Amino acid sequence: AEILKQLETALKAENHCEILSEYKKRSCLRGKSVTVINGTESYPAVVKGIDDKARLIVETADGKEKALSSGEVSISMHKMHNG
């Protein structure tokens, strides 16, 4: 939570474009299969990247893209089985 607070503060600063660019480059989730957990709902997805609002972009099993903010969801890593 502290990291997200610092990121939010930095994004509000003048150099937010540079910080966001670095944040996107350092993300280790791009291309990873994850389970998105939001309240009682959960679903598998693949991380596509991070958008310009620092939201995690995922693609669901039905091919839809969703923008997720950390305040709404929790993400748990797992392997998706194609079959």
Can you say whether residue 54 is alpha, beta or left, with left for phi > 0 and alpha for psi between -120 and 50 degrees? left
Reported pTM: 0.65
Residue 59 confidence (pLDDT): 95
Q: Which residues have CB under 8 Å from 71's CB, separation 6+?
A: none
Residues 52-67: pLDDT tens digits?
Answer: 888 899 999 999 999 9
How far apart are alpha carbons 83 and 65 in whole angstroms? Answer: 21
